Amino acid sequence: MRKKIVVGNWKMNLLRDEGVLLVKNILKSKFNDKINVVLAPSFLHLYKVSKMTSSFKNITTSAQDCSSSTSNSLTGGVSVEMISSCGVKFVIIGHSERRSNFNETNIQLQAKVNMAISNKLNVIFCCGENIEKRKNKSYFDFLKNQITEGIFHLNAKQFSNVVIAYEPIWAIGSGNTASSFQAQEVHEFIRDLIKIRYNETVASNTSILYGGSCNNINAKELFSQKDIDGGLIGGASLSADNFVSIINSF
């Protein structure tokens, strides 16, 4: 049975004390302990947040990115070994903002995936189309290419450590969101791709998250769809009340 997961992606937000306070407020709240919660702060917060959540069996942490390099002559880089040493269990790879702002290609992301998996980190692999691909109805082919080049080289055992997050770029930070029908349509398409590449069992056990302006207002309807297993939450994860409300939307 696949896991229900809610990921809070803080992006480049929160000073050190603000991050600590947010985690304290989340941890003292009442929320569904059957949902897996993943907090993805900036590198600055990772060690502290991992320590704060270490005694909670359903709460863990994720890095927002990682280096594909093992070289230590890389100023500004953060290796998967460094991330693992902080008690972190996940890493987000291929977020649309990394793809667009840093021109990360599918092949570069594949290298990051390989590095993470080989170091026993779980991968939250992001994929999603822009408004142009949505309007000209080429988004299925576009998504298939992202997924095929990014993660379908993995064998079934390796793939079991992958969570997929569908993030329609046209809905991120825009105040728009895909309708529940639009989101379910893509999630079902992704699950079918997994079934074709691997098998029914792998497909049914893979968690697929929605990551396009999901908030405490629309989460319940989105999470009620049969192929949506949770959310990759951006701005709404910066409020303990809103984030906990999203967790409790299942």
Q: How far apart are CA 81 and CA 67, in angstroms?
A: 10
Q: So which residues are the catalytic ones?
A: 95, 167
* 5: three-class secondary structure by DSSP: strand
Q: Pinpoint the alpha helices (H) of 131-249.
A: 131-135, 139-151, 156-159, 180-197, 200-205, 219-223, 240-247
Alpha carbon 91 to its chain centroid, in Å, reads: 8
DSSP class of residue 2 equals P
Longest CA pairwise span in the chain (Å): 48
What is the SS3 assignment for 231? strand
Q: 205 and 1 in contact (C-beta within 8 Å)? A: yes
